[in-house]
A and B are shown apart, each in its own frame.
Chain A
């Protein structure tokens, strides 16, 4: 019997040499006359171990990581292909690693387990059960199930998904659309990418269910150009699903149509904003639209449109399959279900950690993350992407819950966490936030277009020590204008990292702690 060996083909593993490892395994197996069955799986999300290769044994899959192509000969010497786990890189049974075993994998249940491009593998692991149930339900019942699950938009804004869908369901329109926002441009986030590369069918299934729910027959997935592997995986999976009758004129025998197209972004961060994304799909400059009208009523091509993040849509199949109550019973308060935490930056064990809402930031940083990668004290963590606040240690006992973060004037957002050690210059990071806003502003509204540039200048003056107290007052005033006067979150939330850095780390701005920190 040949040994089944898994080498991930997710871009995180590829960026660390997984293809070279796979090639070395094939070469070494041939040289030794060992029969192997090489599977290119997705990532388990244990990114600190990538490339993490696995060997199937009767007891389960044994992991080895981080593997370099130069380790392969010694792995064969140690009999890894027979399931021996004596090699120095052996990790034991992957599913018993505490990092993974303590997670609640709902949306990411198949990631790393299956061959992402195999429909048979997907279906053998519970795939398309949600759609088959949805096919027998009315649109209103599907929407009711999503509403009852308590699912809120995982892209950051946390708007209740069912309420959005209900608006589209009830809207009149000749052609409704489902649009997936896969323009995952925030630093510290990679969960969308992992879904698309490691389990693309779950997104396709979720979008198809959304189409049945609201009566939309066309869908678009807008993926950023920086994600070529995700685009390739989605296109491949869409073709496969279409051939299998799970997309097309008669979805799963329902008599209803749903077709999907992938659209590639072009390096504009702002296109992650939903109305800018719609403009971009329409072939225009990605300039933000004023709301109202809501995209739910007048979205893509002016038609009623569901626009959701990858993770929101990818969470729908399990809600339909297991029932709204099953999903709703995870979590705390009004944050129901699971949050795929993305732990990144200066952290020893970075990766994807899917957990029910309610765990504290400190548990994530230390129990999962193991502290900083540099071994130095952690100084600040930015949660929720480049537009999220920096949190100092005094706030790390906050549970991961949308409302708890909002209460701190912070953002849980999509659950991306970027860790900085004590060498971080918070004034420099605040400047970067303004600079990034200036580079990526669509230019439509003045507070964002001009404010970000002025913000860089003001912070430069503060850092240079020129009229510091006055400049700090100016910076706060500028942030107030951006917060309250911007058209979208780009300008409207850039003050979060800036002011949180200033408030919690005044010494980095040349201020004495406690001096003039009242906003």
Chain B
């Protein structure tokens, strides 16, 4: 399935809505679980999905759009193959988080909040991964890594690159 293909995305969203609607009409408190399910499957929430969601939940498009855009976690564009998140919070700063971010930015060749030129990697901030006693911490896709030195970052990045090439 190609998540960027509108018709297959629509089908996936339809399946998710059906799955959540088994107990009756969709109440608004299921909106976040549904948005999570969509992003889990597609990697992002296509803006074209807003209209269908608003109908299913009996909400305005503005309300659905408002919820999606309020939460940092929800993406509305296809994600990079590999997302690198660097913790920016105080505990990681105290252990060289700023230097690690500068190193990561240089190693990837892209700035914070940006994608690499080939679109393979994205560099994003994150505010606390709960690894404050073993700082600094980063996340590469779904895996958290702690006590990350620049050397360790390079090894982890090389692993992620190899995994990306294999896939």
Contact = CB atoms under 8 A, between A and B. Distances in A.
Interface in B35-72: 35-36, 57, 63, 66-67, 70-72
Interface string B75-115: 00000000000000111111100000000000000000000
A345 B128 contact: no
B72 A267 contact: yes
B74 interface: yes
Contact of A285 (B27, B30, B70, B94): B70
Interface in A258-281: 263-269, 280-281
Question: Contact size class for A?
Answer: 35 or more
A227 to B, nearest CB: 6
A266 B94 contact: no
Given A283-B28, A424-B94, A266 B72 contact: yes
Contacts of B137: 15
B5 interface: no
B128 A12 contact: no
Given A50-B134, A228-B142, A416-B132, A286 B33 contact: no
A282 B28 contact: yes
Interface in A415-462: 416, 418-421, 424, 429, 432, 436, 439-440
A286 B134 contact: no
Contacts of B30: 283
A352 B91 CA distance: 15
A424 B127 CA distance: 19
A347 B94 CA distance: 9
Question: Contact size class for B?
Answer: 35 or more
From A284, A373, A439, residue with most partner B Cβ within 10 Å? A284
A429 B93 contact: yes
Contacts, number: 147
Nearest to B142: A228
Interface stretch (A88-96, A111-119, A142-150, A182-190): A182-190
Given A344-B132, A346-B95, A266 B90 contact: no
Nearest to A280: B32
Contacts of A41: none
A343 B91 CA distance: 10
Contacts of B135: 344-345
From B63, B67, B131, B133, residue with most partner A Cβ within 10 Å? B133
Nearest to B28: A283
Nearest to B70: A285
Contacts of A228: 142
Contact of A284 (B28, B94, B127, B146): B28
A14 B139 CA distance: 12
A282 B71 CA distance: 14
A268 B36 contact: no
A15 B144 contact: yes
B33 A264 contact: yes
A418 B91 contact: yes
Interface in A194-243: 225-228
A268 B137 CA distance: 19
Nearest to B126: A226
Contacts of B57: 283
Contacts of B134: 12, 15-16, 47-48, 50, 350
Contact of A226 (B27, B71, B91, B128): B128
A382 B71 contact: no
B136 to A, nearest CB: 10
A114 B130 CA distance: 21
Contacts of A344: 91, 132-133, 135
Contacts of A281: 29, 32
Interface in A458-488: none
Interface in B1-51: 27-33, 35-36
B132 A283 contact: no
Given A15-B145, A193-B130, A351-B133, A266 B91 contact: no
Interface of A: 11-12, 14-16, 47-48, 50, 184-190, 193, 225-228, 263-269, 280-287, 301, 342-347, 350-352, 373, 382, 386, 416, 418-421, 424, 429, 432, 436, 439-440
Q: Which 8 residue pairs of A and B lie closest in terms of their CB atoms, listed nearest first?
A: A350-B133, A187-B89, A267-B73, A266-B71, A344-B132, A283-B31, A267-B72, A283-B28
